[in-house]
């Protein structure tokens, strides 16, 4: 029977970018459907998930001659996604220059896409999980005066807030208290708490579950199985979960009652998504909070210079101050001290020393007293490269402009960019010489060397010192990191070697010495943010030492220490580190940035092109910028387009990469220009002159230049 469609609905769906389909497609529906309704619709030969979108945002058009297809079904068991969620997705798509449907669908749990309505209905009928205790097992502690002052200001003011608190100053306790107050104020209220790394979610979850009970809390991150993610997502969407803990992806969770967003370690680059829509979850959190009437709290001991600048207090010359409110918690809980910083001038040390004598002596002493040490090196593997002493051969990756890293444990050479792995050759592949040597060092080698150097060192119980390593290689298996961290917490490890993975967030109780053995590389990187990053990393790493004031007092020994082995002991980064003086460091960096016209005093975007050859990649970018000038696109007058350049690692997996930097003093002008440029880039992609182009992409507010 033929029935005329009663309604036309606009549906956001994930159309492949080459399909030429606009953001929204029109479908026929037997009756009107409210925006936000989840539907299944035919698309090509397939049936896909879509979200009914607000008609006034429609930009898609029916391809000529096509008839309107009817929607296939409605996911009736799931309430429509609300207007604030749709506005967030719409904003993110516009701001980060992606298709609306792509962002909308990527924000939904994968199983929602894959399950048919029958399966989903069954899933929804399933009773809620066997729930444990009633929560509130862990009574709220009495806040310190600094914590109380922060709490009171957050309660009284609108924000957004930058909670600038030393490592161990009790920021998490402030989050807990603010969440408590938000939830108490309104039975439908929800809170979102984000951390930069999946690794940090279990300990946070534990703290929140102890305070609020297991039903109230769900997690959302990519380390979960798809059924778990669906379950958490539905709990947040329906309001049964009051608190969502998660990584950057959680910023897109459907949270109809959202009243508070916490972004912990807000400076962490992991908040920036590095593929698809390259969004900053921190920046979206600010936007979302304002739109949805939720308070936003950014916490860090070393805020990003963007947030620091945005939270500058008013002064005589700058009576407005920044848009955010800065709250300060300088003291450690329980009158604990921040580590004393010891710099070892490597110019005065024997060449090629990895562990200098004074550092080794300090570690030995700590171990003999039963204390723990942490040794940081931001490079995994045994050595970054192998070379032949006879002919100069190096273990270059055949597919990338990078070395293959030597991993001794399994005797492989591995490319950390494309994953290409081979067995370590016995002889030089070029000249046959057996004299193959490693150059430089990674965490595996540190672990091995320490084991040798400390082999005679005994703990107070007479047992030999135990060394453990935590990095991406030792934690590949599910649950491995938790197990390893538990060993550290249980005191089964005396010296922990690792990458930045161990520097972040963990509340270690018995670490009293932290050492950065080779931090200098980051001082001379071409990335203008590298000093900021290094400072944050070292402050955070140092923050793992001496966290338990009671333990420190009971040990009665030396104060906790942060050791830095460097050829540049006078460098501003280490000077500021020594004084724990983030404000001075930030002031100096901001002055440089202002002078040079760099973020946060300017706004940037990158356009990247990947192609078979570097020439094609650069030619595409050159042509696109020439077209922008010819057409005198809106905003162009306020935007500087720099010439295309190869990326630092120019070739990865046999693809050549080039990028072009765009800069503007006006965010609005840059946005206007990018929006107008988007169709030009699309058109250039189809031009036969650019055959060999693999893809192009735009990165707004890029973090790595």
Binding-site positions read 388, 391, 397, 400, 415, 418, 428, 431
400 binds, among Zn ion, ligand ADP, none (CB under 5 to 8 A by kind): Zn ion
Minimum CB separation of residue 206 from ligand ADP in Å reads 11
Q: Is 352 exposed, middle or buried (0-12, 13-18, 19+ CB in 10 A)?
A: exposed
Dist. CA 200–CA 500, nearest whole Å: 13
Bridge partners of residue 422, in order along the sequence: 413
Dist. CA 288–CA 238, nearest whole Å: 19
99 lies in the site for Zn ion, by CB under 5 A: no
Residue with Cβ nearer ligand ADP (14 or 506): 506
645 lies in the site for ligand ADP, by CB under 6 A: no
User: 165, 213, 257, 303: which one contacts ligand ADP (CB under 6 A)?
Assistant: 165
- Sequence-ordered list of residues with C-beta below 8 angstroms from that of 685, at least 6 positions apart, any chain: 620, 693, 696
Dist. CA 444–CA 196, nearest whole Å: 25
409 binds, among ligand ADP, Zn ion, none (CB under 5 to 8 A by kind): none
User: 37, 111, 167, 395: which one contacts ligand ADP (CB under 6 A)?
Assistant: 167
User: 131, 391, 550, 584: which one contacts Zn ion (CB under 5 A)?
Assistant: 391
83 lies in the site for ligand ADP, by CB under 6 A: no
390 lies in the site for Zn ion, by CB under 5 A: yes
Binding-residue total with Zn ion (CB under 5 A): 15
Choices 141-149, 414-422, 458-466, 596-604 (CB under 5 A): range interacting with Zn ion? 414-422
* Residue numbers 499-518 binding ligand ADP by CB under 6 A: 507
User: 37, 172, 484, 512: which one contacts ligand ADP (CB under 6 A)?
Assistant: 172
Residue with Cβ nearer ligand ADP (211 or 441): 211
User: 418, 511, 606, 641: which one contacts Zn ion (CB under 5 A)?
Assistant: 418
Dist. CA 28–CA 10, nearest whole Å: 9
Dist. CA 296–CA 243, nearest whole Å: 14
Dist. CA 112–CA 105, nearest whole Å: 9
Minimum CB separation of residue 224 from ligand ADP in Å reads 24
* Residue numbers 321-340 binding ligand ADP by CB under 6 A: 333
CB-CB contact of 204 with 221 (8 Å): no
Count Cβ atoms below 10 Å from residue 249 Cβ, excluding itself.
18
Residue with Cβ nearer ligand ADP (27 or 308): 308
Residue with Cβ nearer ligand ADP (548 or 701): 548
Minimum CB separation of residue 547 from ligand ADP in Å reads 6
Question: Measured at the alpha carbon of residue 228, what is the angle toward residues 223 and 232, in degrees to the nearest 5?
Answer: 105
Minimum CB separation of residue 236 from ligand ADP in Å reads 24
433 lies in the site for Zn ion, by CB under 5 A: yes
Q: Residue 558: which of 368, 375, 344, 355 has the closest Cα?
A: 368
Choices 46-54, 135-143, 192-200, 553-561 (CB under 6 A): range interacting with ligand ADP? 135-143
User: 94, 399, 459, 568: which one contacts Zn ion (CB under 5 A)?
Assistant: 399
- Sequence-ordered list of residues with C-beta below 8 angstroms from that of 350, at least 6 positions apart, any chain: none
CB-CB contact of 447 with 384 (8 Å): no
* Residue numbers 256-315 binding Zn ion by CB under 5 A: none
Minimum CB separation of residue 299 from ligand ADP in Å reads 7
DSSP 8-state symbol, 462: S
542 lies in the site for ligand ADP, by CB under 6 A: no
Angle between helices 83-95 and 281-292 (to 10 degrees): 140
Annotated binding-site members for Zn(2+): 388, 391, 397, 400, 415, 418, 428, 431
439 lies in the site for Zn ion, by CB under 5 A: no
DSSP 8-state symbol, 241: -
Dist. CA 537–CA 501, nearest whole Å: 10
DSSP H or E run through 178: helix 171-185
385 lies in the site for Zn ion, by CB under 5 A: no
Binding-residue total with ligand ADP (CB under 6 A): 15
Dist. CA 570–CA 225, nearest whole Å: 48
User: 102, 146, 173, 283: which one contacts ligand ADP (CB under 6 A)?
Assistant: 173
389 lies in the site for Zn ion, by CB under 5 A: no
Indicate the SS3 state at residue 340.
Answer: strand
CB-CB contact of 546 with 499 (8 Å): no
Choices 65-73, 104-112, 143-151, 402-410 (CB under 6 A): range interacting with ligand ADP? 143-151
CB-CB contact of 502 with 552 (8 Å): no
418 binds, among ligand ADP, Zn ion, none (CB under 5 to 8 A by kind): Zn ion
Choices 421-429, 553-561, 582-590, 615-623 (CB under 5 A): range interacting with Zn ion? 421-429
Q: Taking the CA of residue 138 as centre, how many other CA atoms within 13 Å lie in the half-sphere pointing to its CB? A: 15
Minimum CB separation of residue 172 from ligand ADP in Å reads 3
Show the DSSP H helices in 346-422 as ranges: 357-368
CB-CB contact of 92 with 211 (8 Å): no
495 lies in the site for Zn ion, by CB under 5 A: no
Dist. CA 693–CA 613, nearest whole Å: 8
Region class of 330: left (phi > 0), else alpha (psi between -120 and 50), else beta: alpha
Residue with Cβ nearer ligand ADP (170 or 519): 170
Residue numbers at the binding site for ligand ADP (CB under 6 A): 141-144, 147, 165, 167-173, 333, 507
Residue numbers at the binding site for Zn ion (CB under 5 A): 388, 390-391, 393, 397, 399-400, 415, 417-418, 420, 428, 430-431, 433
């Amino acid at each position: 029977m033929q029935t005329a469609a009663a309604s036309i609905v606009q549906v956001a769906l994930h159309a492949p970018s080459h399909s030429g389909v606009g953001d929204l497609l029109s479908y026929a529906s037997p009756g009107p459907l409210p925006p936000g309704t989840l539907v299944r619709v035919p698309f090509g030969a397939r049936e896909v998930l879509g979200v009914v979108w607000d008609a006034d945002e429609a930009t898609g058009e029916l391809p000529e001659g096509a008839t309107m297809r009817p929607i296939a079904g409605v996911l009736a068991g799931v309430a429509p996604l609300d207007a604030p969620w749709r506005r967030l997705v719409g904003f993110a798509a516009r701001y980060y220059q992606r298709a609306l449907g792509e962002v909308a669908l990527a924000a939904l749990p994968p199983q929602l896409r894959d399950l048919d309505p029958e399966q989903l209905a069954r899933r929804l009928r399933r009773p809620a999980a066997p729930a444990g205790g009633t929560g509130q097992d862990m009574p709220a502690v009495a806040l310190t005066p600094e914590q109380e002052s922060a709490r009171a200001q957050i309660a009284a003011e609108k924000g957004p807030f930058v909670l600038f608190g030393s490592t161990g100053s009790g920021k998490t306790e402030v989050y807990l208290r603010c969440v408590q107050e938000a939830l108490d104020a309104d039975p439908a209220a929800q809170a979102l708490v984000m951390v930069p790394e999946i690794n940090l979610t279990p300990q946070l979850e534990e703290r929140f579950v102890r305070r609020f009970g297991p039903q109230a809390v769900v997690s959302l991150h990519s380390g979960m199985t798809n059924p778990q993610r669906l379950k958490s997502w539905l709990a947040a969407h329906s309001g049964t979960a009051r608190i969502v803990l998660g990584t950057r992806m959680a910023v897109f969770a459907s949270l109809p009652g959202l009243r508070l967003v916490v972004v912990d370690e807000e400076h962490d680059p992991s908040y920036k998504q590095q593929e698809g829509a390259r969004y900053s979850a921190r920046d979206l959190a600010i936007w979302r909070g304002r739109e949805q009437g939720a308070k936003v709290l950014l916490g860090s001991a070393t805020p990003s210079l963007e947030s620091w600048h945005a939270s500058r207090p008013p002064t005589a010359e700058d009576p407005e101050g920044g848009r955010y409110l800065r709250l300060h918690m300088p003291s450690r809980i329980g009158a604990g001290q921040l580590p004393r910083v010891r710099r070892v001038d490597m110019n005065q040390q024997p060449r090629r020393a990895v562990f200098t004598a004074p550092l080794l002596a300090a570690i030995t002493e700590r171990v003999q007293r039963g204390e723990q040490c942490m040794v940081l090196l931001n490079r995994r593997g045994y050595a970054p490269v192998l070379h032949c002493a006879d002919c100069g051969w190096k273990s270059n990756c055949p597919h990338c402009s990078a070395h293959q890293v030597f991993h001794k444990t399994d005797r492989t050479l591995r490319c950390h960019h494309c994953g290409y792995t081979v067995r370590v050759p016995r002889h030089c592949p070029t000249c046959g010489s057996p004299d193959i040597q490693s150059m430089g060092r990674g965490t595996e080698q540190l672990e091995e060397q320490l084991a040798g150097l400390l082999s005679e060192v005994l703990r107070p119980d007479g047992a030999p010192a135990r060394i453990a390593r935590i990095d991406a290689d030792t934690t590949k298996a599910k649950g491995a990191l938790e197990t390893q961290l538990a060993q550290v917490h249980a005191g089964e490890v005396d010296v922990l070697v690792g990458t930045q993975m161990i520097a972040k967030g963990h509340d270690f109780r018995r670490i009293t010495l932290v050492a950065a053995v080779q931090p200098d590389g980051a001082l001379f990187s071409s990335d203008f943010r590298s000093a900021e990053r290094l400072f944050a990393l070292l402050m955070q790493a140092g923050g793992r030492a001496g966290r338990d004031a009671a333990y420190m007092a009971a040990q009665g020994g030396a104060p906790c220490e942060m050791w830095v082995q460097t050829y540049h002991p006078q460098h501003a980064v280490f000077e500021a580190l020594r004084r724990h003086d983030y404000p001075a460091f930030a002031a100096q960096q901001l002055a440089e940035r202002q002078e040079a016209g760099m973020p946060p005093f300017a706004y940037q975007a990158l356009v990247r092109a990947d192609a078979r050859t570097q020439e094609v990649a650069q030619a595409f970018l050159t042509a696109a910028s020439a077209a922008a000038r010819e057409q005198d696109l809106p905003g162009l007058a306020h935007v500087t387009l720099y010439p295309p350049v190869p990326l630092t690692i120019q070739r990865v997996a046999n693809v050549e990469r080039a990028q072009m930097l765009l800069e503007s003093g006006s965010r609005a002008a840059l946005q206007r220009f990018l929006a107008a440029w988007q169709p030009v880039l699309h058109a250039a992609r189809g031009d036969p002159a650019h055959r060999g182009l693999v893809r192009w992409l735009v990165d707004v507010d890029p973090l790595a230049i």
